[in-house]
Amino acid sequence: MPDSMPLSLVIAYLTFFGFLNTHQRHSSRFEGASHIYHLALNISLLIGVLVGLGLLVYYGYLTAWYWPIVLFLTGSLIGGLIFGLLDVTLGLLIMSLVSFPGWPIFAYIMYRIISHLGG
């Protein structure tokens, strides 16, 4: 059982969370004409949230119950702030387009990191 969170996991989680936060932000402020794109944002967000919860539960199962809480709070705060600034700077459309492949890639990276913690 690890004594702390690996920095690689924190970075992967805050990036994962940031991409999902971008989808949430874009969906809630959606002004586009494409209902299909808006639906895709919402479906991606729902799947991402479920994957994220699953990864946090898996992390807690392999380590200790409190590490997922620390990871969630740390990653959510930092990831939300960084990606909030990126959303404003680069624009929600560009960031949400990058987020479609972005969050699954970082979910996979998180899975790999977490699974190696179990031995």
What pLDDT tens digit does each residue of the chain (119 aa) get?
A: 455 789 999 999 999 999 999 999 999 988 888 999 999 999 999 999 999 999 999 999 999 999 999 999 998 999 989 999 999 999 989 999 999 999 999 999 999 999 998 76
Query: Among 49, 51, 61, which Cα is nearest to 110's?
Result: 51
pLDDT on residue 31? 84
Query: Among 54, 44, 53, 55, which Cα is nearest to 21's?
Result: 44
pLDDT on residue 100? 97
Residue 58 lies in a domain: yes
Residue 82 lies in a domain: yes
User: Structural domain of residue 85, as residue ranges?
Assistant: 7-117
Residue 1 lies in a domain: no
pLDDT on residue 33? 83
pLDDT on residue 119? 62
Give the total number of structural domains in the chain: 1
What span, in angstroms and rounded, lies between the C-alpha atoms of 78 and 15? 9
* Contacts with 113 (C-beta within 8 Å, 6 or more apart), sequence order: 6, 8, 9, 12
CA 62 to chain CA centroid, Å, is 20
Residue 2 lies in a domain: no
Angle between helices 7-28 and 67-90 (to 10 degrees): 50
What span, in angstroms and rounded, lies between the C-alpha atoms of 22 and 113? 23
pLDDT on residue 25? 92
pTM of structure: 0.92
Residue 46 lies in a domain: yes
